[in-house]
């Protein structure tokens, strides 16, 4: 019996060179077909011989093909699951980092920040000193009260002036002419200076969280400690031990510190002095 000229374990799509030197392709009808470029009108498909050995080879080939297909599907599934797990882990780390940054950068709790600096009597005094001939686009009573409320909430002169539809320069021009307004203004700044001092002390002790990016994605945060800020606060709180020698005489003079006495409890940060009116030319209004 003449041997079959093509491999018996071929799979659909395989090609081989036939006994006549032409290229044949094994198709899903289990026949070998001449390629289109070399086909002749009298060519006929060459079927795989139907004998036990051929069927066994075909069965083994199918089993091997199915095994390879299952292995490929399993590998693709493992890769997909690994990528999904990695993506979920990255998203979790990014969400945790965003939560840390949001908690750090959020504004203080209004219940802690707003302490009702102004009473009804204070507002009454501010309103009472408004001249009756004030222009509607000037410092009316409503604008003054709105400015003080926003300054109490935010601690920003520029933001409060913007809310009242006035300029920062207009605020400083009003202060010498409105004592009650100036007192409430200084009281709000003193309160927010204390908040700022507490915030800086917390940052100097516990550090500051900054985002960490990898490949353009947020992957976490890291703590940055501000050594220069800590050194400055030590110099302010305990100048006898931490201030430079060339500054010690000034600290003694301004704080009435006694270098021979035992070091007292660290003094609190000095509250800002209320501005003196009228301001000198180029003073706080030009800062």
pLDDT in tens, 55-92: 677 678 778 888 898 999 999 999 999 999 888 888 88
- Secondary element (H or E) of residue 75: helix 52-105
Closest CA to 35 of 48, 20, 24: 24
Q: Are 180 and 121 in contact (CB under 8 A)?
A: no
With the C-alpha atoms ordered 272, 278, 279, 285, is the resulting torsion angle positive or negative? positive
Tokens standing for residue 260:
């021979």
Q: What pLDDT does residue 76 have?
A: 92
Tokens standing for residue 226:
């501000």
Tell me the sheet residues that pair with 224.
208
Q: Are 275 and 186 in contact (CB under 8 A)?
A: yes
More confident residue, 255 or 165: 165
Distance of CA 4 to the CA centre of its chain: 70
Tell me the sheet residues that pair with 208.
224
Q: What pLDDT does residue 169 have?
A: 92
Backbone angles phi, psi at 135, to 5 degrees: -70, 155
Residue 173 pLDDT > 60, yes or no? yes
| Cα separation, 225 vs 209, whole angstroms | 9
| Placement of tokens 């004998």 in the chain | 51
Q: Are 22 and 38 in contact (CB under 8 A)?
A: yes
Average pLDDT over residues 3-31: 85
């Amino acid at each position: 019996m003449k041997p079959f000229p093509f491999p018996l374990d071929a799979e659909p799509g395989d090609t081989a060179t036939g006994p006549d030197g032409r290229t044949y392709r094994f198709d899903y009808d289990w026949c070998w077909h001449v390629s289109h470029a070399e086909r002749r009108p009298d060519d006929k498909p060459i079927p795989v011989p139907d004998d036990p050995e051929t069927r066994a080879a075909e069965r083994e080939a199918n089993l091997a093909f199915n095994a390879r297909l299952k292995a490929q599907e399993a590998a693709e599934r493992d890769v997909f699951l690994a990528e999904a797990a990695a993506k979920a882990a990255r998203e979790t780390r990014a969400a945790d980092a965003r939560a840390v940054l949001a908690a750090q950068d959020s504004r203080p709790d209004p219940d802690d920040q707003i302490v009702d600096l102004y009473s009804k009597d204070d507002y009454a005094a501010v309103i009472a000193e408004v001249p009756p001939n004030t222009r509607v686009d000037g410092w009316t009573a409503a604008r003054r009260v709105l400015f003080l409320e926003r300054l109490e909430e935010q601690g920003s002169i520029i933001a409060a002036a913007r809310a009242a539809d006035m300029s920062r320069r207009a605020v400083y021009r009003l202060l010498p002419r409105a004592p009650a307004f100036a007192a409430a203004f200084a009281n709000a700044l003193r309160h927010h200076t204390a908040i700022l001092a507490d915030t800086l002390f917390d940052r100097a002790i516990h550090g500051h969280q900054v985002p960490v990016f990898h490949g353009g994605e947020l992957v976490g945060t890291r703590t940055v400690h501000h050594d220069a800020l800590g050194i400055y606060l030590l110099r302010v709180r305990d100048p006898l031990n931490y201030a430079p020698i060339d500054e010690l005489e000034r600290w003694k003079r301004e704080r009435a510190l006694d270098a021979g006495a035992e070091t007292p409890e660290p003094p609190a940060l000095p509250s800002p002095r209320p501005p003196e009116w009228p301001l000198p030319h180029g003073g706080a209004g030009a800062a």
